[in-house]
Each structure stands twice: as structure tokens, then as C-alpha cells.
Amino acid sequence: MNQIEKLLEELCPNGVEYKLLGEVGNVFRGKRFVKADITESGIPCIHYGEIYTRYGISAEESFSFVSVERAKSLRFAAPGDVIMATSGETVADIGKSVAWLGNEPVVIHDACYVISSPMNSKFLSYFFASSGFRDQIKQKISSISVRNVSKTAIPVPPLEVQRVIVEILDKFTELEAELEAELEARKKQYGHYRADLLELPNVPLVSLTQIVESISSGRNKSRVQDGKFPVFGSTGKIGTTNEYNYSGDSLLIARVGANAGMVNVASGCYDVSDNTLIIKPNYGWDIRFAFHQLTRMNLNQYAVGGGQPLLTGKRLKELMVPLPSLDEQRGIATVLDRFDELVNDLSAGLPAEIAARHKQYEYYRDQLLSLREVE
């Protein structure tokens, strides 16, 4: 921060000029193409949905292409332009931008705006992600238009200041990328360890019927805000209640829809929704070992049906699993729990570190881009 403060004092001691985006550049809309037009090679293209799902602040290569013939009737962003999504699945998706740094023009979807200006394109892309820009467009988010975007105020510091701000923010994003890459590597390592530890080729198989006390469906009917007890559904905790129907350790298995087969563990006093199966292991099946064992088995494969796949308790009872001694089960579970915490726990391990780094990045991004306006 000291570096940028000294530079601002030297180059713009009275503050930074703010201008309307339309005053410093040209804003125009892409042209419609459909997913059927996308090919594996040809002319680079960017579909609006890719901006908030696949791209970061900048890109040098596209993920998609259109044919040379199809591209003739479409619109392009040039190298150095910024491409903004004007539609999305959530409000946060709208306005998400990517600076195009490729060596050739890229075809742009009609749910995107192109901002072409002499400014540093990554500086603009970072600014469009900041609260300074988001606060300006949030009132118009449902009807974002070229006119609205062109009328947003942006800081226009000297190019040298823009460059240094980009360098600082790039270091934050690079660190996040390194942590995310490490997390992916750890997840793969976890998968290999889990497969090895749970293979157990020389251990006799037993049916779930032999090692569970019961398998039943949840029956929660009511929920309240700030209740005393958690209510669990197919994806984990979904609410609270003041009355509970279950207690002790249980395995919760999502039984309906795309999440069918997802495994969670509940303990204490709680209630469970009717789209979830409750498995009570007996004393010979360690709860944490059972969690890892069933998770690895990909129970979704046993769900039947089309649009709403259904996993039944009857089908689960038929499954066969290797059952080592309790001591061996607990030893395996301890090792896998450590990995699980490292790669999945949002309050610890790498996910927590990534979340903390992202908050730090957002703070410094907004600080760096909230430049004092010229007096």
C-alpha cells in the first residue's frame, strides 16, 4: 500500500479524476449465438455464462470456439477490451467481467457488453468486481443496459498507477490460485488414500442389514427460526426446530433427486426431513468409518427413476460392505477424517485458508480502487 500511496502523491497529489465509463471508452453489445454454434476449434468465442463460471479477471485463451463461417455474422472484442456479463443465474453474476488479453479478436455473445478504452483492461476488470462498481449498478441490476453501464463513474488514475494496482491485486489472485491448486491436489490425494484404505480385499463382506439397527425416512413437519435443534435434509443442515425426533449418532442419506446418495453424519438431538434416510449403525460399525465407506461407494448409482431418482432403504439394506475389526475401522476413520478436514472443512484446513485469503483480497481490492476524487 505504501508504494501506491507514494505514487498517488507524486502523480496525482490533488486526487484522481472520475469519469463516466462512456466518456473514456466505447461500450457495445455482442451478437447472439447459441450453444449449438460452439465448436472445439475455430474462432475464439466467449459465451456470457462462461464469464462467471470459467474465467477469472483476465484471459489469454478462450474455452470455446465458433466456425469461421458463423463468426462472419457475429461481433468481436479486440485484445485489450473488457467483456462484461449482462445476465446470470444470480445477481452476483451480472457485471462479472474478464479482460481479453489474447492475440486475436474473440467473438462475444449478445448477453455481454464490450468495453473498449485506452485504460488498462485488467484495472477495469478489477474495478468492475469491486464494491465501488457493484454499488452503482445494484439498483439497476435487473435491467442493466449499455446506457446504464456507460453512466457508471470510474476512477481514471494515470496509467502507471493503474499498472501498479493491477500488479498488487495480481499477487493476491495468484496466491488464491496456488491455494486452490493445492486443494485440488490434496483432494486427489485424499481420494487415492480413501480408495486404498477402504479396498479391504481380504475382509469378509456383510450386508447392511447385519450391521444396522434401522433404516427409516425422516419425518420433520415444522421448522422455526432460531430453534433449539437442527433440522437436516439431503444436503446437510436446512433449518431449526424446537422439537426433535432423533438423537444419537446417525448416518443421513439423501434419497431423492440429484443429491440422492449424499452422506452426512448427525449427532446429539435433531430432526430430519422426509427426503432423507436415517441409518442407525449397530455397535459393530463405527460411525465415522461407515461415513467414509458409504461416501466412497457413490450411493447415487443405486437410485432409480428419471427426473427424480429415488434411493430406497430396501436397496441400501441389500448392499454388501467389508467389515474389519472395530479397532481397524477406527484407525482408518482417524486417517480419513484428517484428510476430510483438510480438504472439506470450511472452518479449518485449506478451505478456511482460501476463504480468509479471498476476504483479504476483497478488502485490499476495494481499498486500492476507492481512490480519492480530485478536489
CATH number at residue 29: 3.90.220.20
Among 284, 307, 323, give the residue marking a domain's end: 323
Q: What is the pLDDT of residue 305?
A: 84
Least confident among 135-139, 148-152, 229-233: 135-139
Give the residue-averaged pLDDT of 262-268.
96
Q: Is the pLDDT of residue 145 over 80?
A: yes
Q: Is the pLDDT of residue 142 over 80?
A: no
Q: What is the pLDDT of residue 278?
A: 97
Instruction: Provide the number of structural domains found in the chain.
Output: 3
Other CB atoms within 10 Å distance of the CB of residue 348: 11
Q: Is the pLDDT of residue 290 over 90?
A: yes
Do 188 and 249 belong together in one domain? no
Do 198 and 340 belong together in one domain? yes
Q: What is the pLDDT of residue 141?
A: 67
pLDDT band at 47 (very low <50, low <70, confident <90, very high): very high
Do 126 and 110 belong together in one domain? yes
Q: What is the mean pLDDT of the chain?
A: 93
| Residue 27 grid coordinates | 461500450
Do 257 and 346 belong together in one domain? no
Among 323, 340, 365, give the residue marking a domain's end: 323
Among 323, 347, 364, give the residue marking a domain's end: 323
For residue 168, the domain's CATH number is 1.10.287
Do 330 and 225 belong together in one domain? no
Do 195 and 148 belong together in one domain? no
The percent of residues in the chain predicted with pLDDT above 70, rounded, is: 99
Do 220 and 190 belong together in one domain? no
Do 49 and 101 belong together in one domain? yes
Do 94 and 242 belong together in one domain? no
Give the residue-averaged pLDDT of 173-180.
94
Q: Is the pLDDT of residue 1 over 60?
A: no
Least confident among 3-7, 26-30, 285-289: 3-7
Express each pLDDT in 50-107 by its tens digit.
Answer: 999 999 999 999 999 999 999 999 999 999 999 999 988 888 899 999 999 999 999 9
Do 92 and 163 belong together in one domain? no
Decide the pairing of beta strands 269-272 and 229-233: parallel
More confident site: 89 or 161: 161
- The residues facing 215 across adjacent strands are 279
What's the whole-model pTM score?
0.79
Ramachandran category for residue 251: left, alpha or beta (phi over 0 → left; psi -120 to 50 → alpha)? beta
More confident site: 307 or 268: 268
Give the residue-averaged pLDDT of 285-302.
96
Q: Domain range for residue 22? A: 18-156
Cα–Cα dist 201/250, whole Å: 27
Other CB atoms within 10 Å distance of the CB of residue 327: 9
Do 239 and 280 belong together in one domain? yes
Q: Is the pLDDT of residue 23 over 80?
A: yes
Q: Is the pLDDT of residue 253 over 60?
A: yes
Cα–Cα dist 46/62, whole Å: 7
Cα–Cα dist 361/375, whole Å: 29
Do 100 and 35 belong together in one domain? yes
